[in-house]
């Protein structure tokens, strides 16, 4: 099943019109129709909106899995929900990469500092 077919089926399962669904997503009804008929593919931001609206994973929408639900055990979900990028353990135990190259600890720290500085300018 392709992206458009999955989107259409999910919408129909909810008994929603294209107009209602498009409005919920902040897109036009014509755009939704193009997605459902596989004339266009949604960008990553729109895919995430579809996933959130229908309570499914993006992997399900793009056909990487036939299971629409996220399968994380409660302890894993709790761990993931509380990850803090600046944690030394996280920086030492996981490979953070950009363009396929692992960031050094110092690069990761500079990245974190950049994000913090950017956020502070927005407040």
User: Could you tell me the residue ranges of all domains in the chain?
Assistant: 3-61, 74-122
**How far, in Å, are 30, 71, 85, 95, 103 from residue 77 at the CA level?**
37, 9, 16, 20, 25
**pLDDT of amino acid 115:** 81
The confidence score (pLDDT) of residue 29 equals 96
**pLDDT by position in tens, the chain (length 123):** 799 999 999 999 999 999 999 999 999 999 999 999 999 999 989 999 999 999 898 888 998 888 787 666 677 667 766 766 666 776 777 777 888 888 888 888 888 788 888 888 876
Distance CA 28, CA 44 (A): 17
The dotted CATH code for 3-61 is 1.10.260.40
pLDDT at 77: 66
pLDDT at res. 81: 67
Report the pLDDT value the prediction gives residue 101, as an integer from 0 to 100. Answer: 87
């Amino acid at each position: 099943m392709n992206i458009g077919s999955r989107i259409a089926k999910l919408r129909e399962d909810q008994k929603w019109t294209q107009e209602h669904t498009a409005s919920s997503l902040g897109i036009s009804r014509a755009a939704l129709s193009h997605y459902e008929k596989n004339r266009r593919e949604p960008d990553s931001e729109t895919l995430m909106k579809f996933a959130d609206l229908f309570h499914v994973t993006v992997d399900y929408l793009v056909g990487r899995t036939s299971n629409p639900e996220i399968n994380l055990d409660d302890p894993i979900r709790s761990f993931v929900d509380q990850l803090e990028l600046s944690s030394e353990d996280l920086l030492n135990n996981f490979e953070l990469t950009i363009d396929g190259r692992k960031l050094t600890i110092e690069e990761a720290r500079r990245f974190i500092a950049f994000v913090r500085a950017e956020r502070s300018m927005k407040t």
